[in-house]
Chains A and B, each alone.
Chain A
């Protein structure tokens, strides 16, 4: 055994030396690294782990796969090219030499990933890099091992012929588009992306959830290619062993069979998961009746005045809920049963009333009729995993609500707490889900987990609001809450440094906008960086959290907002102005009054007193309907200054209900009239 190991190591060392000391090797590394750096020189990187698990890492692995194919072929043919094969084959050696040489090829190619790791390392904290590195290295190794094995296999069959190299390169190029051609958008073969051995698909990494959205797919994908790599090597070994030992290569054949079984089983499991997720995803392409804005809130005669919900996430994959709520008869007739909606997968473990379930519809039978306007306190305990999917733009199933060991995302439309009425909002619902009501939320999470809700926080894991129209709950071991002066950051750990850097920028905009609103200016804001937006899961417009504006931005937004004026206005200007509007008593949702005001405030913030730039902002805005109001407000600003503008905005908020019906020109005239313009 020691002899065997010695020969294996000697073959590995020699092959590695021959590869890395070849004049072309440093050139290869330099060219590969330069290419990666060139492609990613301007691309925003969210975090080191995100970079390694998404575009950067996959690109780097992808182009290394080409080098692996060519280097594998070169390594496999070396003995014959140098005419050492006739000597080598007369030595008393076995598969250990071949394995050692193949492995050396794999190891020699791993440095092609250094550039990607270096770029990723500059994007954020080292902890994120260390967290992402093992998976990245493992996946790079599997891909390189597979491609090197293919190179070996081809050369061992065809011999070290020169045309093998263009053949491999051509095959690699051909495979670039193969998964897309076979996939959902073309031939529709489920799981076709499994053939994407160069990992050109960027995956679904989220800083908050890691690769949770991919489920077990990465495991099956990696096992599939590890199996194929082992199969390729085993076939080469079997072929050589059969020739050299003059007998059936039983052990290599058994290993090849085992590798084939692993690959086949992994492929089957992969396709099964894809099919299962696709079946559960809502197909965006199919028309379906959608409730109109507000329909969910008014459809039921029952309403709920207050919720008090305790969520136990000790087992995040199967949470337990204890919901106490006050039911009110909002209709004009007594009711004997209350119809609520609760996700069908949640198993009720206790109910204060007899109940019946029909899918997501939960009917509670009242022991005595509930008179119009009367209330009754009820209690419901339920538990279980819930998952809701939507189909992404490329028809990839995308979980919106989920409870998993690595994180919990309870979207406001997820039906995770009982809401009045009989319609569970679709997963991509972006409107409020129920009439305003008091909502108290207490969450128990595993140690080290962070929690986010759109409700104002009353403690580390408790939240409360007296007028909640929708509630989300995010919990993740990566989520952190941090106080920065008067502001609060809620973000994945790796994004905290970026969030900290953004706070002064947001506070400056807040201070600039707040002086035009009535009442005291808020001290600070709450900035939440969650997962990818515009992802469904919560309304785009988040109301303020308590007395602070709450801004929820995407994990990929922080860099983007600095570059694009429109995004910047959307994420900063709109979000802050809307919350200031709400804090002053207005309702910015769907309000043209608010639109005109916030548009002027943002244009003023950007253009200052420069009328030319102001007009440029108006033209570039793409919001012609808001321009008349913005121009009227500018006149007010110029003539009456900050105090005059604040006065007009206060009137706009106070009379918003009546002003909503006005056309833009009428609203502009109203502004001029209120301000006393000639």
Chain B
């Protein structure tokens, strides 16, 4: 399912959360990267009809999100950044209720609820109260509710925030598995999540699209600009001020840095093979300090 975004703007007074965003999502699993406050969640909320834009146009499978939001909701599965359920219900009861809200006929509903519970590996805990679930289980239940009704579009906003590494990997794999027959729009600031799963991506920075393309194209943006070098601890501040530091670690009392820079930093850098994270930093201009990127 194709998503077309044309000159989308969303202003909150003087704050420009989205400032002329245009993007074409052809389908498959598509990542939306950007630092905190880049406008990812605003864009997601507009896509899932929860928020009206200031101007611009968004179509999902040819359906205008602004004009026909009800039709978009019929083909939509959404996992917001923060969500909750009624704690006193069991997972089965909650999904059964949501299935009704998603207009799934009674006979198909039972089957679908059982299927999505199976899909997210919650069958054994389906009769437990949601209030007793761990964070990861609730996140999986969030996916389950989004999958109900077999939506053509799945919008996932910062899904792995707050999960432990094991849960995150499991969650990411699950997303990959279910993305085969639908469009999945994954918003995240964790590059590894996108790297592991997306066939296309866009980088959003300060309300604008900084990059749109494939992961390989993003990696290419960093080719010849990624260096590794060792510096004294006292030199860190000076280096970080001049180049983008991707990562750092201490080796034998010295700091080993991986940086993105157009020229060899300090003249003693060694060129290295770029990764997606390097590409991201290359297009976004975000430093390690300001982006708070997590290297996994």
Contact = CB atoms under 8 A, between A and B. Distances in A.
Interface of A: 3, 6-7, 10-11, 14, 18, 21-22, 78, 82-84, 86-94, 97, 243-246
A245 B101 CA distance: 16
Contacts of B142: 87
A239 B73 CA distance: 19
B122 interface: no
A82 B87 CA distance: 8
Nearest to A2: B105
B70 A86 contact: no
A383 B81 CA distance: 79
Interface residues of B, number: 30
B69 interface: yes
Interface in B46-61: 48-50, 52
Contacts of A246: 52, 66-67, 69
Given A86-B82, A86-B83, A92-B103, A244 B88 contact: no
Contacts of A3: 103
Contact of B50 (A21, A82, A90, A92): A90
Contacts, number: 74
A21 B101 CA distance: 22
Contacts of A14: 86, 89, 97
B82 A83 contact: yes
Interface string B95-122: 0011011110010000000000000000
B245 interface: no
Given A92-B103, A246-B67, A18 B88 contact: yes
B149 to A, nearest CB: 9
Main secondary structure of the interface of A (DSSP, over half): helix
Interface in B114-148: 142, 145
Contacts of A10: 97, 100-101
Given A3-B103, A14-B86, 19 more contacts: A6-B106, A14-B89, A18-B88, A82-B84, A82-B87, A83-B83, A83-B84, A84-B86, A86-B80, A87-B83, A87-B98, A88-B101, A89-B49, A91-B73, A92-B103, A93-B101, A97-B101, A246-B66, A246-B67
A331 B166 CA distance: 117
Interface in B71-92: 73-74, 76, 78, 80, 82-89
Nearest to B99: A10
Given A92-B70, A92-B74, A246-B66, A7 B100 contact: yes
Nearest to B96: A10
Given A7-B100, A97-B101, A90 B78 contact: yes
A84 B85 contact: yes
A244 B74 CA distance: 13
A25 to B, nearest CB: 12
Nearest to B72: A92
Nearest to A6: B100
Contact of B83 (A18, A21, A84, A94): A84
B84 A244 contact: no
Contacts of A90: 48-50, 73, 76, 78, 80
Contacts of B49: 89-90, 244
A75 to B, nearest CB: 12
29 contacts: A3-B103, A6-B100, A7-B101, A10-B97, A10-B100, A11-B101, A21-B88, A82-B87, A83-B82, A83-B83, A83-B84, A84-B83, A84-B85, A86-B78, A87-B80, A87-B83, A88-B101, A89-B49, A89-B50, A90-B78, A90-B80, A91-B102, A92-B73, A93-B101, A97-B101, A244-B69, A244-B70, A245-B69, A246-B66
A252 to B, nearest CB: 15
Interface in B249-264: none
B103 A86 contact: no
Nearest to A247: B67
A521 B87 CA distance: 79
Contacts of A84: 83-86
Contacts of B80: 86-87, 90
Interface in B212-250: none
Nearest to B130: A82
Given A88-B101, A92-B102, A82 B85 contact: yes
Contacts of B102: 91-92
Nearest to A91: B101
A68 B98 CA distance: 27
A94 B69 CA distance: 12
Looking at A92, A93, A243, the one whose CB has the most chain B CB atoms below 10 A away is A92
A18 B86 CA distance: 8
A373 B87 CA distance: 95
A97 B89 CA distance: 18
B120 to A, nearest CB: 15
Contacts of B52: 243, 246
Contacts of B88: 18, 21-22
A228 B52 CA distance: 31
A562 B27 CA distance: 87
A245 B70 contact: yes
Looking at B83, B142, B145, the one whose CB has the most chain A CB atoms below 10 A away is B83
Contacts of A245: 69-70
Looking at B52, B67, B100, the one whose CB has the most chain A CB atoms below 10 A away is B100
B145 A87 contact: yes
B73 A82 contact: no
Contacts of B69: 244-246
A94 B74 CA distance: 12
Contacts of B66: 246
Interface string B15-32: 000000000000000000
B73 A87 contact: no
A605 B86 CA distance: 71
A464 to B, nearest CB: 73
Nearest to A90: B78
A78 B85 CA distance: 10
A341 B97 CA distance: 74
Contacts of A89: 49-50
B137 to A, nearest CB: 16
A583 B224 CA distance: 129
Nearest to A81: B84
Nearest to B148: A91
